[in-house]
């Protein structure tokens, strides 16, 4: 369909707020245009079949009594659909308005998936350099009259006039935005498509920034471009997710080449920046630890318990009790320890493993305390592993280099890059290529998990 024959339905909705099934329409306005002239209009208050929150009434002026005798959406659904049919759906932040209507039609057993254009995104591409592209601000900047702000018809007419001005100043933008392979409608409204297209398909760390260029999220990815897209393409109507998506305005990145370096760098950046939407990753709490004590018979017992100053320093720590017990169960088997003396069984006498000949009998004093405690000591040395110094070599940011991660005496020192042809004769020489980084418990967890994969070249001192 050519621009000359194509019609556009500029839509604005007022709603009860919230997302998904909680968000219901209170008013709808549609302005039909050919991109130059307004051809038709439609407006109706809608009974949302639920109460309107006071803060929404304060914003829009629409209250419960105004919509009490108005049609419910299913009563106007056919009329609205006929008006929208065959038109390109246009809105300021199109994902919101189209998403609400889609949910309404799906609740009635229908489908609604029109081609979409977002005037936020189109404004950014056409009128560059403005601090804000909210409807109120961009209309004021461009001299577009905006009457009845936060009422559906007032906002819809202003959006239609903005749409006309965009098309007039940027004639190719419609075809560019509607291109079949374009991810335009999926990306958040404030993200420039060109910024997304510039993202590399490489391993590294990416940053989401808001309109004020404040970093609000840090992530790690094997493929930065692909991972960034998944943030916005997955269907998720939870309020937190929708708030996150609407907040993203800019994207930045740092290529690392190595997944291990990306994980370490991501962890460090989250703790340095404390981004708004990385709350769960800012600090990982380790409320449980592995402790040991000598019982009345001289046996060194192990137990997983809540960390407490009264218990002293834990041998190792865990994010949860089940995490600790599962780990201790594996260690008990590996070092031939008694599950009863590890607190994993509460048998009145001998443990079950003793009964099937898998325990040497410390639980019934057949194995001496000296023999048993020696195995516990070996396990503790294995867990602490404090004396080891090593480097991990992995992929670099290009084929000519490789990444290096340095750990000295069990303490993470940092990462860096060196040429693949670089000749290292002394272990200490690796320090010359390292960017110093802070060590923390999360870093230790990342190193342990990654090195278990045995995908990296490790050189010990």
Residues 264-321: tens digit of each pLDDT: 999 889 988 889 898 766 555 568 889 999 999 999 999 999 988 888 888 887 878 8
- Asked whether residue 311 is assigned to any structural domain, the reply reads yes
Q: Last residue of some domain: 322, 355, 384?
A: 384
- Asked whether residue 59 is assigned to any structural domain, the reply reads yes
The answer on 57 and 27 residing in a single domain is yes
- Asked whether residue 373 is assigned to any structural domain, the reply reads yes
Q: What is the pLDDT of residue 246?
A: 83
- Decide: 298 and 306 in contact? Cβ < 8 Å: no
- Decide: 188 and 248 in contact? Cβ < 8 Å: yes
Q: What residues contact residue 171 under an 8 Å CB cut-off, 6+ apart?
A: none
Between 285 and 238, the more confident residue is: 238
The answer on 41 and 165 residing in a single domain is yes
- Asked whether residue 105 is assigned to any structural domain, the reply reads yes
Residue 330 has pLDDT above 50, yes or no: yes
Three-class secondary structure of residue 405 per DSSP: strand
Q: What is the pLDDT of residue 220?
A: 96
Cα(285)–Cα(266) distance, integer angstroms: 17
Q: What is the DSSP letter of 48?
A: -
Check residue 109 and give left, alpha or beta (phi > 0: left; psi -120 to 50: alpha): left
Residue 343 has pLDDT above 70, yes or no: yes
The answer on 21 and 128 residing in a single domain is yes
Measured distance between the N- and C-terminal CA atoms of the chain, rounded to whole angstroms: 69
- Asked whether residue 348 is assigned to any structural domain, the reply reads yes
Q: How would residue 62 be classed by pLDDT, with cut points 50, 70 and 90?
A: very high
How far is residue 211 CA from its own chain's centroid?
Answer: 18
Task: Kindly provide the b/e burial profile for residues 253-269, where b requires at least 16 CB atoms within 10 angstroms of the residue's own CB.
Answer: bbbbbbbbbbbbbbbbb
User: Which alpha helices (H) appear in 93-238, and where do they start and end?
Assistant: 94-107, 119-126, 135-142, 152-169, 173-178, 193-197, 224-233
Q: How would residue 454 be classed by pLDDT, with cut points 50, 70 and 90?
A: low
Q: How would residue 245 be classed by pLDDT, with cut points 50, 70 and 90?
A: confident
pLDDT, average across residues 72-94: 94
The answer on 275 and 159 residing in a single domain is no
The answer on 171 and 214 residing in a single domain is no
Q: What pLDDT digit, counting tens, does each position of 383-395 carry? A: 765 557 888 999 9
- Decide: 218 and 272 in contact? Cβ < 8 Å: no
- Decide: 50 and 73 in contact? Cβ < 8 Å: no
Structure tokens that stand for 432 in this block? 């010359």
Least confident of 208-222, 231-245, 341-355, 391-405: 231-245
- Asked whether residue 454 is assigned to any structural domain, the reply reads yes
Q: Last residue of some domain: 384, 403, 433?
A: 384
* HSE, side-chain direction, 13 A CA sphere, residue 275: 24
Q: What is the pLDDT of residue 27?
A: 96
Q: What is the CATH number of the domain that holds 158?
A: 3.30.420.10
Q: What pLDDT digit, counting tens, does each position of 140-198 carry? A: 999 998 888 889 999 999 999 999 999 999 999 898 888 744 555 677 877 877 788 89
Give strand ranges (E) for 119-256: 204-209, 215-221, 250-255
The answer on 157 and 44 residing in a single domain is yes
- Asked whether residue 186 is assigned to any structural domain, the reply reads no
The answer on 90 and 17 residing in a single domain is yes
- Decide: 395 and 255 in contact? Cβ < 8 Å: no
Domains identified in the chain, total number: 4
The answer on 220 and 164 residing in a single domain is no
- Written as one string, the DSSP assignment of 243-264 is HHHHH--EEEEEE-S-HHHHHH
Least confident of 93-102, 416-425, 450-459: 450-459
Q: What is the strand order of the sheet 250-255 is part of?
A: 215-221, 204-209, 250-255
The answer to whether the pTM exceeds 0.85 is no
Q: What pLDDT digit, counting tens, does each position of 35-59 carry? A: 999 999 999 999 999 999 888 898 8
Q: What is the strand order of the sheet 457-460 is part of?
A: 434-436, 411-419, 401-408, 390-395, 457-460
| C-alpha pair distances (Å), 158 with each of 24, 63, 97, 193 | 23, 23, 15, 24
Residue 448 has pLDDT above 90, yes or no: no
Cα(336)–Cα(326) distance, integer angstroms: 15
Three-class secondary structure of residue 302 per DSSP: strand
- Asked whether residue 185 is assigned to any structural domain, the reply reads no
Q: Tokens 């993203």, residue?
A: 248
Residue 2 has pLDDT above 60, yes or no: no
The answer on 355 and 298 residing in a single domain is yes
Residue 10 has pLDDT above 50, yes or no: yes
Give percent of the chain above pLDDT 90.
48
Q: What is the pLDDT of residue 180?
A: 42
- Decide: 203 and 157 in contact? Cβ < 8 Å: no
Q: What is the CATH number of the domain that holds 268?
A: 3.40.1440.10
Residue 226 has pLDDT above 70, yes or no: yes
- Decide: 413 and 437 in contact? Cβ < 8 Å: yes
The answer on 331 and 269 residing in a single domain is no
Beta-bridged to residue 345, according to DSSP, are none
Cα(139)–Cα(154) distance, integer angstroms: 12
The answer on 439 and 317 residing in a single domain is no
Task: Kindly provide the b/e burial profile for residues 430-461, where b requires at least 16 CB atoms within 10 angstroms of the residue's own CB.
Answer: bbebbeebebeebbbbbbeebbeeeebeeeee
Q: What is the pLDDT of residue 234?
A: 73
> Which domain, by its residues, includes 396?
390-460
Cα(92)–Cα(113) distance, integer angstroms: 17
* HSE, side-chain direction, 13 A CA sphere, residue 300: 15
Q: Last residue of some domain: 384, 414, 437?
A: 384
The answer on 395 and 359 residing in a single domain is no
- Decide: 9 and 30 in contact? Cβ < 8 Å: yes
């Amino acid at each position: 369909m050519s621009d000359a024959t194509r019609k556009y339905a500029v839509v604005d909705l007022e709603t009860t707020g919230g997302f998904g099934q909680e968000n219901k329409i209170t008013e709808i306005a549609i302005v039909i245009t050919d991109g130059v002239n307004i051809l038709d209009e439609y407006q109706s208050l809608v009974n949302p079949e639920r109460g309107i929150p006071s803060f929404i009434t304060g914003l829009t002026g629409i209250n419960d009594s105004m919509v009490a005798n108005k049609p419910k959406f299913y009563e106007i659904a056919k009329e609205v659909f006929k008006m929208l049919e065959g038109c390109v759906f246009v809105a300021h932040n199109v994902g919101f308005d189209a998403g609400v209507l889609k949910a309404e039609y799906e609740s009635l057993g229908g489908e609604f998936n029109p081609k979409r254009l977002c005037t936020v995104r189109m404004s950014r591409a056409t009128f560059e350099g403005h601090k804000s592209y909210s409807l109120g601000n961009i209309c004021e900047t461009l001299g577009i009259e905006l009457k009845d702000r936060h009422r559906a018809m007032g906002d819809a007419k202003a959006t239609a006039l903005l749409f006309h001005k965009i098309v007039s100043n940027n004639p190719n933008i419609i075809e560019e935005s509607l291109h079949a392979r374009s991810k335009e409608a999926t990306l958040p409204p404030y993200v420039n498509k060109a910024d997304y297209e510039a993202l590399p398909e490489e391993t590294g760390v990416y940053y989401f920034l808001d309109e004020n260029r404040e970093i609000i999220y840090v992530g790690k990815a094997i493929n930065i471009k692909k991972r960034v897209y998944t943030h916005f393409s997955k269907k998720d109507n939870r309020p937190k997710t929708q708030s996150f998506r609407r907040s993203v305005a800019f994207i930045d990145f740092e290529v690392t080449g190595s997944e291990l370096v990306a994980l370490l760098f991501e962890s460090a950046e989250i703790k340095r920046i404390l981004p708004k939407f990385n709350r769960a990753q800012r600090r990982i709490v380790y409320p449980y630890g592995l402790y040991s004590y000598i019982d009345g018979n001289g046996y060194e017992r192990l137990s997983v318990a809540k960390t407490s100053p009264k218990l002293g320093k834990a041998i190792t720590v865990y994010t949860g009790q089940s995490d600790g017990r599962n780990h201790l169960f594996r260690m008990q088997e590996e070092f031939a320890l008694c599950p009863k003396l590890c607190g994993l069984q509460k048998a009145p006498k001998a443990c079950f493993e003793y009964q099937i000949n898998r325990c040497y009998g410390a639980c019934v004093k057949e194995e001496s305390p000296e023999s048993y405690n020696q195995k516990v000591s070996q396990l503790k040395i294995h867990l602490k592993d404090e004396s080891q110094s090593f480097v991990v070599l992995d992929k670099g940011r290009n084929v000519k280099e490789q990444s290096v991660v340095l750990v000295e005496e069990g303490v993470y020192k940092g990462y860096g890059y060196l040429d693949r042809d670089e000749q290292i004769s002394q272990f200490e020489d690796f320090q010359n290529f390292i960017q110093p980084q802070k060590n923390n418990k999360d870093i230790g967890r990342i190193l342990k998990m990654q090195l278990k994969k045995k995908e990296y070249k490790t050189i010990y001192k």
